Amino acid sequence: MTTLVIGANGQIGRQFCELAQQAGVPIKAMIRDAAQAPWFEQRGIATVVADLEGDFSPAFEGCDEVLFTAGSGPHTGADKTLLIDLYGAMRAVDLAAARGIGRFVMVSALRAEDPQAAPEKLRPYMAAKLAADVYLKASTVPWVILKPGRLTDEPATGRVAASLEETGGENTVSRANVAQALLHLVQARDLVGREFRLLDGERPIGEALA
């Protein structure tokens, strides 16, 4: 029951890995570069070195679930959005399908279903996330999609909301809460074919994402 964490060295990825390790949830952190390994090794987290832009199929060995939390980030260009957020996700889905992976947990984005409604600057990113989500849903792989709002570095509260109605329009969520929500999703193995929005809020995670 090992979860391959794609994007493990990202801000959310690291927090998730640490939580999963503490909770005894078996994971394998996929990292691009062996130089990223010590952070994980110091915490007893298994790693595999593989490049999302190369052949990363060996990373799937021994895994029956995938958590995709890779993102090219705001400091690279849209070419990387195409190669990482879109095409990296598509290839991960293809590999998951070919290997009969039990479930694919995708970190998407709030309102990715409607890029047209996003601020102009965010639209290309949202289009990539939408296409990746659609690709996953059209695949043979059982899936869960988490759509966090605007990410912040606030500490975890463990209290979230699953809609903008619930928050009165507040659209932020801390990366720490996202990591906790991912831990919940990875542990709730019966959740399949579900899409959840995620914002900071008032409810326990297990209740909001049920």
79 binds its own copies (CB under 8 A): yes
91 binds its own copies (CB under 8 A): yes
Q: Specify the pairing of strand 27-31 against strand 3-6.
A: parallel
Does residue 140 contact residue 173 with C-beta atoms inside 8 Å? no
- Cα dihedral value 148, 154, 159, 160, nearest 10: -20
Q: Which of the following is catalytic: 16, 125, 135, 143?
A: 125
Tell me if residue 135 is catalytic.
Answer: no
Task: Name the H helices within the chain.
Answer: 11-23, 37-41, 78-80, 89-98, 123-138, 164-167, 175-187, 205-208
Quick note: the x/- pattern for its own copies over 111-140, rule CB under 8 A, is ----xx------xxx-xx-xxx-xx--x--
For its own copies, the closer of residues 91 and 194 by Cβ is 91
- How far apart CA 57 and CA 60 sit, in angstroms, is 6
State the nearest-atom distance from the C-beta of 88 to its own copies, in Å: 9
179 binds its own copies (CB under 8 A): no
Q: Which residues make up the interface to its own copies (CB under 8 A)?
A: 77-83, 86-87, 90-91, 115-116, 123-125, 127-128, 130-132, 134-135, 138
